[in-house]
Structure 1
Amino acid sequence: MRFADFPFLRYLPFVLLGIFWAQSPFSFNFLSLAIILSLLWGAYLIFVSLLATRKSTHQPSYLGYLALIALGALLVANKQKQSARQTDFSNSVSYLAEVTMYDQQKPNSFENLLEVKSVFQEGKWTDAEGKILVYHQNKKPLEPGQILLVNKLPETIASPRNPNEFDYKEYLSRQEITYRQFLGKDFQVVDSVSKSGPKYFLVHLRQNIAEMLKSKIPDDKSAQIALALLLGQKKELDPTIREAYTQAGVMHILAVSGLHVGIIYALFILILKPLKMKKEKSRLYLLFVILIIWLYAFLTGLSPSVVRAATMFSLLTLGQMRERRPSIYNILAFSAILMITFNPDVIYEVGFQLSYLAVFGIVMIQPLILNCWLPRSKALEYIWQLISVSLAAQLVTFPLSIYYFHIFPTYFLLGNMLILPLAFVIMQVGVPLMIFGWVPLVGDVLGWALSWLIWFQNYIAELIRLIPGGKLDRLTMDFSGMILVWGILLIATFWEFGSKRTLTWMALSLAFLWTGVQLYSVVNVPSKELIVYQGKKSHMFDFSVFNELYSFNQGLEEGEISYSVDRNRIQQHVSQLPKTLYAIQKDSIQLAFLKTNVTLHPQENQLHFTSPPTSMYYWSDGKWVNMELRHSLPLDSLAYRILF
Structure 2
Amino acid sequence: MRLQTMPFFYFFFAMAFGIVFADYLNPDMYLSLVLCLTVFVVFVAMQFFKFGPQSAINRVQFVLPLLVFFSLGMTLYQLETAQSDSFSIDKNYLPGDRIVGEVVSIAAGKTDFRKCEMDVKFIINYKDTLPARGRLLVFLEDPEREMKRKDMCLLKSELSSIVNSKNPGEFDSQSYWKHKSIHQSSFVSSDSYTKVGVAEWEIMDWFIGLREHFAAVLDTYLQGDENAVAKGLILGDRSSIDGEVTRKFGNTGAMHVLAVSGLHVAILVQILTFFFGLFSRWISKNQALLLALTVVWIYAALTGLSTSVVRSAWMFTILAGSTLLGRNYNGFNSLALSAVLILVWNPHFLYDIGFQLSYLAMIGIFLFNRNLSVLFYTKYKWIQAAWDGTMVGIAAQIMTIPLTLYYFHQFPNYFILTNLGLMVFSFLVLALGIALFSMSFFPPAAKLIAILLSFSMFLMLWIIDFVDALPGAVSAGFVLRFWEVVLLFALILGCYWAIQKQQLKVLFSVLVGALLWVGVLVFDRFSRMNQTQVCFLNTKEITFIVKQRDQNFCFFANKEGNTRKVAFAAGAYEKMFPGTMHYFEISQKKTSTLQCGNSRIYIERKRGGYQIEVNQTNYFVATSDHFQDPKGKVIYAPWLSAPNASYQLATGAIVFPAN
User: TM-score, normalising length from structure 1?
Assistant: 0.83
Measure, in 1, the Cα distance between the counterparts of 2:443 and 2:552: 65
Q: Give the match for residue 142 of structure 1.
A: 147
- Residues 51 and 57 of structure 2 are in contact (CA less than 8 Å); yes or no, is this contact kept in structure 1? no
Aligned match for 1:488, one of 488, 491, 496: 491
- Residues 602 and 612 of structure 2 are in contact (CA less than 8 Å); yes or no, is this contact kept in structure 1? yes
CA separation of 1:162 and 1:292: change in aligned 2, threshold 3 A = same
Q: Give the match for residue 32 of structure 1.
A: 31
Measure, in 1, the Cα distance between the counterparts of 2:114 and 2:153: 15
CA separation of 1:374 and 1:509: change in aligned 2, threshold 3 A = closer
Measure, in 1, the Cα distance between the counterparts of 2:33 and 2:322: 34
Q: Give the match for residue 254 of structure 1.
A: 258
1:540 equivalenced with 2:544 (yes/no): yes
Measure, in 1, the Cα distance between the counterparts of 2:301 and 2:506: 43
* Equivalences for residues 349-368 of structure 1 within 5 A: 349-368=352-371
CA separation of 1:282 and 1:32: change in aligned 2, threshold 3 A = same
Greater CA deviation, 263-272 or 403-412? 403-412
For 2:171, the aligned partner's letter is F
- Residues 484 and 511 of structure 1 are in contact (CA less than 8 Å); yes or no, is this contact kept in structure 2? no
* Equivalences for residues 598-637 of structure 1 within 5 A: 600=620, 604=627, 633=646, 635=648, 637=650
- Residues 97 and 115 of structure 1 are in contact (CA less than 8 Å); yes or no, is this contact kept in structure 2? yes
Q: Give the match for residue 455 of structure 2.
A: 452
Measure, in 2, the Cα distance between the counterparts of 1:289 and 1:406: 39
- Residues 232 and 256 of structure 1 are in contact (CA less than 8 Å); yes or no, is this contact kept in structure 2? yes
Could you list the runs of 5+ residues in structure 2 that have no partner in the other structure?
A: 583-595
* Equivalences for residues 441-480 of structure 1 within 5 A: 441-480=444-483
Q: Give the match for residue 313 of structure 1.
A: 316
Report Cα offsets for 1:508-539 as digits up to 9, x if no partner. Answer: 996699699989999x99x9987643221435
Measure, in 2, the Cα distance between the counterparts of 1:639 and 1:580: 27
For 1:192, the aligned partner's letter is V
Q: Give the match for residue 12 of structure 2.
A: 12
CA separation of 1:518 and 1:438: change in aligned 2, threshold 3 A = closer
CA separation of 1:68 and 1:120: change in aligned 2, threshold 3 A = same
- Residues 532 and 539 of structure 1 are in contact (CA less than 8 Å); yes or no, is this contact kept in structure 2? yes
Quote how far apart the aligned CAs of 1:255 are.
Answer: 0.6
- Residues 484 and 514 of structure 1 are in contact (CA less than 8 Å); yes or no, is this contact kept in structure 2? no
1:387 equivalenced with 2:375 (yes/no): no
Q: Name the SS of the counterpart of 1:336 in structure 2.
A: helix
For 1:125, the aligned partner's letter is T
Q: Give the match for residue 593 of structure 2.
A: none
Measure, in 1, the Cα distance between the counterparts of 2:385 and 2:247: 28
CA separation of 1:7 and 1:112: change in aligned 2, threshold 3 A = same
For 1:270, the aligned partner's letter is F
Q: Give the match for residue 623 of structure 1.
A: none
Quote how far apart the aligned CAs of 1:372 are.
Answer: 1.7
Q: Give the match for residue 118 of structure 2.
A: 114
For 1:492, the aligned partner's letter is C
- Residues 540 and 555 of structure 1 are in contact (CA less than 8 Å); yes or no, is this contact kept in structure 2? no
- Residues 233 and 259 of structure 2 are in contact (CA less than 8 Å); yes or no, is this contact kept in structure 1? yes
Q: Give the match for residue 406 of structure 2.
A: 403
* Equivalences for residues 65-464 of structure 1 within 5 A: 65-81=66-82, 85-88=87-90, 89-91=93-95, 93-101=97-105, 104-132=108-136, 133-137=138-142, 139=144, 141-177=146-182, 178-193=184-199, 198=203, 200-215=205-220, 217-239=221-243, 241-276=245-280, 281-464=284-467
CA separation of 1:253 and 1:495: change in aligned 2, threshold 3 A = same
Report Cα offsets for 1:367-399 as digits up to 9, x if no partner. Answer: 111122232433332222122112212222233
Quote how far apart the aligned CAs of 1:70 are.
Answer: 1.4
CA separation of 1:203 and 1:449: change in aligned 2, threshold 3 A = same
Quote how far apart the aligned CAs of 1:211 are.
Answer: 0.6
For 1:10, the aligned partner's letter is Y
Q: Give the match for residue 590 of structure 2.
A: none
Measure, in 1, the Cα distance between the counterparts of 2:512 and 2:470: 40
CA separation of 1:255 and 1:203: change in aligned 2, threshold 3 A = same
Quote how far apart the aligned CAs of 1:331 are.
Answer: 1.0
Q: Name the SS of the counterpart of 1:11 in structure 2.
A: helix
CA separation of 1:275 and 1:250: change in aligned 2, threshold 3 A = same
CA separation of 1:145 and 1:383: change in aligned 2, threshold 3 A = closer
Measure, in 1, the Cα distance between the counterparts of 2:547 and 2:215: 50
For 2:6, the aligned partner's letter is F
- Residues 437 and 446 of structure 1 are in contact (CA less than 8 Å); yes or no, is this contact kept in structure 2? no
Q: Name the SS of the counterpart of 1:181 in structure 2.
A: strand
- Residues 96 and 156 of structure 2 are in contact (CA less than 8 Å); yes or no, is this contact kept in structure 1? no
CA separation of 1:474 and 1:271: change in aligned 2, threshold 3 A = same
Q: Name the SS of the counterpart of 2:537 in structure 1.
A: strand
Measure, in 1, the Cα distance between the counterparts of 2:580 and 2:163: 29
For 2:651, the aligned partner's letter is L
* Equivalences for residues 576-595 of structure 1 within 5 A: 582=600, 593=613
Greater CA deviation, 113-122 or 96-105? 96-105
Equivalenced residue count is 623
Q: Give the match for residue 622 of structure 1.
A: none
Quote how far apart the aligned CAs of 1:420 are.
Answer: 1.3
Q: Give the match for residue 48 of structure 1.
A: 47
Greater CA deviation, 330-339 or 369-378? 369-378
Could you list the runs of 5+ residues in structure 1 that have no partner in the other structure?
A: 620-626
For 1:225, the aligned partner's letter is V
Quote how far apart the aligned CAs of 1:569 are.
Answer: 6.1
- Residues 165 and 539 of structure 2 are in contact (CA less than 8 Å); yes or no, is this contact kept in structure 1? no
Q: Name the SS of the counterpart of 1:214 in structure 2.
A: helix
For 2:33, the aligned partner's letter is A
Measure, in 2, the Cα distance between the counterparts of 1:180 and 1:463: 40
CA separation of 1:24 and 1:237: change in aligned 2, threshold 3 A = closer
